[in-house]
């Protein structure tokens, strides 16, 4: 271990030995990849043009109340009014992934219920809110009054007086140690604290420094709250680089490689405020070869975002995103195995379980997810696959809820959706197939052209000559196989048809003109 650390210090550790953060800074976008043993495990992208507002804190104005929806619509100064459910306007309630710790003392003030919300926030009144989910599609942002400020080792909750420790910290002795630190921190009585997973094993002085920074940040927000008129932005969530340093740069990360000198120095400054020792982990990539190419990130991204994802065994996944849900199908592919079919199916599903958990993180898939594993007869095998899948989901920072594998072999789950998936951010609907992934066959287009000709000639009895423009491949079909059918149309309506191809036409596009005046007919 010591030798490994020495190698890493001098930059000679093997790529396969390290956990690395690779940061690519370009004029239009910033990209961050986390590699473990050279394998892409996390990927994030941010563009200035569509930067997420999730995490931002606003001084908003109540626009209207919808009692039927039990919701308030709040103007926060963006395109669409934000959605505030009555429950999200209640006093803060700790997450189920956090152990609540009794601070002692009595509850202060009258208990508020959802029935009190319309009276507390009448239309036109001001309110301080935080975005929990950015706008997705036609939906506006989701917001809450339960404000939280994330630091390196803790989360400060200005409107909650409860303490908590992340349940991902499992060691009982460590939890007891952290409870003692919490009691000694000197947190204001009206505020609460959650210790993050990154705080495991850290000395009390790191928590003291983190708390001081968070309290200072909250004071700045309070000043803005007094001085700014609603709607107004009070605090903008840090950009992708700062969030990466805050959320990922732990002792487990061996190296941070950045291809922008200014950002590299900025990251060192951020890291130095937390740990001077960790500054040496930040390395400036100053080579002609692009940083994502050198570390084989681009190729891995390309492979990961395909509809079909191959596994090492020869099996593969098929990932389909729809409006309602995401469907992931597991197929044996080339992995036929030997005579022991059940064992082959189990091993394929185990491999798929690991890769699916990785794909969810890489693609930032959220909402309802259905995973169709290969059918397993043994309930024991199903439980094993479910356990492996849940184990790999532990590293996911998004909240997940997984149901047991059903009798049909389907695993249903939900994953927290904070913003659009990466694929929907990088791609838009194909103008050719309109998102279907298919185009009509030449035979189908021939049928549609003939149907339209019959309709137009039957309706316009004074027209006796038409010009028809189609895609070259459709024209080839019309001439090679359907010429007699077209002649029959000419005879039936005593008309003349002239066909021409246009390479600029879409495969499913055609145009019919009146030859007498070149006017398009519809």
Helix (H) or strand (E) holding 100: strand 98-101
Give the pLDDT band (50/70/90) at residue 429: confident
Tokens matching residue 17:
């030995």
Position 401 scores a pLDDT of: 93
- Domain finish residue from 392, 426, 460: 426
Whether residues 461 and 516 share a domain: the answer is yes
Please determine, for residue 404, whether its predicted confidence score (pLDDT) is greater than 90: yes
Q: Which has more confidence, 250 or 86?
A: 86
Mean pLDDT of 428-432: 74
Mean pLDDT of 147-151: 90
Tokens matching residue 142:
């989701």
Task: Please check whether residue 261 is in contact with residue 284, taking contact to mean a CB–CB distance below 8 angstroms.
Answer: yes
Position 3 scores a pLDDT of: 38
Task: Please check whether residue 281 is in contact with residue 307, taking contact to mean a CB–CB distance below 8 angstroms.
Answer: no
Q: Is residue 43 part of a domain?
A: yes
CA 423 – CA 68 distance, rounded (Å): 35
Percent of the chain past pLDDT 70, that is, above it, reads 89
Whether residues 354 and 486 share a domain: the answer is no
Whether residues 119 and 140 share a domain: the answer is yes
CATH number at 29 reads 3.30.420
Write the DSSP assignment of 127-174 as a string of letters. EEEEEEE--BTTB--EEES---EE-SSEEEETT---EEEETT---HHH
Please determine, for residue 115, whether its predicted confidence score (pLDDT) is greater than 60: yes
CATH number at 470 reads 3.40.1260.20
Which of 513, 509, 519 has the alpha carbon at shortest distance from 466?
513
Position 101 scores a pLDDT of: 61
Whether residues 75 and 42 share a domain: the answer is no
Whether residues 43 and 71 share a domain: the answer is no
Q: Is residue 172 part of a domain?
A: yes
At 229 the three-state DSSP class reads: coil
Q: Is residue 387 part of a domain?
A: yes
Please determine, for residue 89, whether its predicted confidence score (pLDDT) is greater than 60: yes
Task: Please check whether residue 13 is in contact with residue 4, taking contact to mean a CB–CB distance below 8 angstroms.
Answer: yes
Task: Please check whether residue 344 is in contact with residue 338, taking contact to mean a CB–CB distance below 8 angstroms.
Answer: yes
Give the pLDDT band (50/70/90) at residue 338: low
Q: Is residue 65 part of a domain?
A: yes
Please determine, for residue 107, whether its predicted confidence score (pLDDT) is greater than 70: no
Percent of the chain past pLDDT 90, that is, above it, reads 43
Global pTM reads: 0.69
Position 274 scores a pLDDT of: 67
Task: Please check whether residue 145 is in contact with residue 89, taking contact to mean a CB–CB distance below 8 angstroms.
Answer: yes
CA 366 – CA 83 distance, rounded (Å): 19
CA 240 – CA 30 distance, rounded (Å): 7
Whether residues 147 and 168 share a domain: the answer is yes
Backbone angles phi, psi at 44, to 5 degrees: -135, 150
Q: Which has more confidence, 251 or 18?
A: 18
Cis? peptide before 231, omega within 30° of 0: yes
Whether residues 384 and 404 share a domain: the answer is yes
Write the DSSP assignment of 307-355 as a string of letters. SEEE-TTS-EEEEEE-SSEEEEEEE-TT---SS-HHHHHHHHHHHHHHH
Q: Is residue 169 part of a domain?
A: yes
Task: Please check whether residue 138 is in contact with residue 167, taking contact to mean a CB–CB distance below 8 angstroms.
Answer: no
Q: Is residue 432 part of a domain?
A: no
Give the pLDDT band (50/70/90) at residue 12: very low
CA 520 – CA 136 distance, rounded (Å): 39
Whether residues 212 and 267 share a domain: the answer is no
CA 245 – CA 263 distance, rounded (Å): 12
Position 306 scores a pLDDT of: 86
Please determine, for residue 45, whether its predicted confidence score (pLDDT) is greater than 60: yes
Please determine, for residue 114, whether its predicted confidence score (pLDDT) is greater than 70: yes
Whether residues 97 and 221 share a domain: the answer is yes
Mean pLDDT over the full length of the chain? 85
Whether residues 94 and 216 share a domain: the answer is yes
Mean pLDDT of 160-179: 87
At 255 the three-state DSSP class reads: strand
At a CB cut-off of 8 Å and minimum separation 6, what does 133 contact?
A: 54, 141, 142, 417, 418, 419
Give the pLDDT band (50/70/90) at residue 336: low
Position 330 scores a pLDDT of: 94
Boundaries of domain holding 469: 442-520
At a CB cut-off of 8 Å and minimum separation 6, what does 15 contact?
A: 35, 37, 38, 295
Position 9 scores a pLDDT of: 43
CA 142 – CA 122 distance, rounded (Å): 19
Where do we find the tokens 């626009």? 63
Radius of gyration over alpha carbons of the chain, in Å? 30
Give the pLDDT band (50/70/90) at residue 96: very low
CA 370 – CA 360 distance, rounded (Å): 12
Tokens matching residue 517:
């005046």
CA angle (92, 98, 104) in 5-degree steps: 65
Whether residues 80 and 175 share a domain: the answer is yes
Mean pLDDT of 219-246: 88
Position 326 scores a pLDDT of: 93
Please determine, for residue 13, whether its predicted confidence score (pLDDT) is greater than 60: no
Whether residues 262 and 338 share a domain: the answer is no
Q: Is residue 221 part of a domain?
A: yes
Position 305 scores a pLDDT of: 80
Q: Is residue 436 part of a domain?
A: no
Task: Please check whether residue 181 is in contact with residue 204, taking contact to mean a CB–CB distance below 8 angstroms.
Answer: yes
DSSP letter (8 states) at residue 397: S
pLDDT in tens, 234-265: 998 888 888 887 776 666 788 899 999 999 99
At 195 the three-state DSSP class reads: strand
Which of 309, 371, 384, 312 has the alpha carbon at shortest distance from 343?
384
Domain count, the chain: 4
pLDDT in tens, 434-463: 777 788 889 999 999 999 999 999 888 888
Task: Please check whether residue 252 is in contact with residue 227, taking contact to mean a CB–CB distance below 8 angstroms.
Answer: no
Position 129 scores a pLDDT of: 93
The maximal CA–CA distance of the chain, rounded, in angstroms, is 97
Q: Phi-psi region for residue 186, left (φ > 0), alpha (ψ -120 to 50) or beta?
A: left
pLDDT in tens, 278-320: 788 899 999 999 999 999 998 888 887 888 999 988 999 999 9
CA 314 – CA 53 distance, rounded (Å): 41
């Amino acid at each position: 271990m010591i030798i490994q650390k020495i190698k890493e210090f001098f930059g000679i550790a093997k790529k396969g030995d390290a956990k690395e953060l690779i940061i690519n800074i370009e004029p239009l976008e910033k990209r961050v990849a986390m590699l473990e043993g050279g394998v892409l495990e996390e990927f994030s992208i941010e563009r200035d043009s569509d930067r997420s507002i999730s995490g931002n804190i606003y001084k908003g104005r109540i626009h209207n109340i919808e009692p039927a929806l039990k919701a308030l619509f709040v103007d926060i100064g963006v395109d669409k009014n934000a959605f505030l459910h009555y429950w999200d306007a209640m006093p803060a309630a700790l997450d189920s992934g956090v152990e609540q710790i009794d601070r002692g003392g009595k509850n202060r003030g009258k208990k508020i219920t959802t029935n009190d919300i319309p009276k507390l926030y009448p239309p036109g009144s001001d309110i301080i809110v935080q975005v929990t989910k950015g706008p997705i599609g036609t939906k506006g942002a989701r917001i809450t009054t339960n404000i939280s400020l994330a630091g390196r080792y803790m989360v400060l909750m200005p409107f909650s007086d409860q303490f908590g420790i992340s349940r991902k910290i499992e060691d009982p002795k460590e939890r007891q140690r952290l409870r003692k630190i919490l009691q000694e921190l000197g947190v204001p009585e009206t505020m609460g604290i959650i210790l993050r997973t990154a705080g495991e094993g850290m000395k009390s002085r790191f928590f003291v420094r983190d708390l001081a920074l968070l309290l200072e940040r909250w004071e700045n927000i309070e000043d803005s709250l007094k001085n700014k008129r609603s709607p107004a932005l009070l605090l903008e969530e840090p950009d992708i680089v700062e969030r990466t340093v805050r959320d990922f740069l732990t002792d487990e990360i061996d190296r941070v490689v950045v291809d922008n000198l200014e950002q590299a120095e900025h990251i060192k400054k951020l890291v130095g405020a937390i740990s001077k020792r960790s500054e040496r982990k930040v390395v400036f990539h100053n080579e002609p070869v692009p940083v994502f190419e050198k570390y084989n990130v681009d190729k891995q991204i390309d492979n990961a975002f395909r509809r079909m994802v191959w596994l090492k065994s020869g099996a593969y996944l098929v990932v389909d995103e729809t409006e309602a849900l995401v469907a992931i199908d597991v197929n044996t592919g080339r992995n036929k195995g030997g005579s022991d079919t059940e064992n082959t199916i189990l091993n394929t599903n185990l491999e798929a379980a690991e890769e699916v958990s990785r794909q969810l993180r890489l693609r930032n898939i959220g909402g309802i997810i259905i995973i169709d594993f290969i059918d397993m007869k043994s309930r024991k095998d199903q439980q094993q696959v479910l356990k492996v899948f849940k184990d790999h989901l532990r590293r996911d920072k998004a909240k997940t809820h997984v149901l047991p594998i059903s009798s049909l072999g389907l695993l249903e789950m939900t994953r927290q959706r904070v913003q659009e998936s990466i694929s929907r951010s990088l791609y838009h609907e194909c103008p050719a197939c309109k998102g279907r992934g298919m185009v009509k066959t030449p035979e189908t287009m021939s049928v549609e052209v003939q149907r339209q000709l019959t309709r137009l000639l039957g309706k316009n009895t004074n027209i006796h000559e038409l010009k028809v423009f189609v895609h070259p491949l459709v024209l080839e079909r019309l001439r090679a196989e359907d010429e007699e059918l077209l002649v029959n149309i000419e005879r039936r309506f005593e008309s003349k048809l002239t066909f021409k191809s246009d390479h600029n036409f879409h495969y499913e596009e055609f145009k019919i003109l009146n030859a007498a005046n070149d006017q398009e007919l519809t």
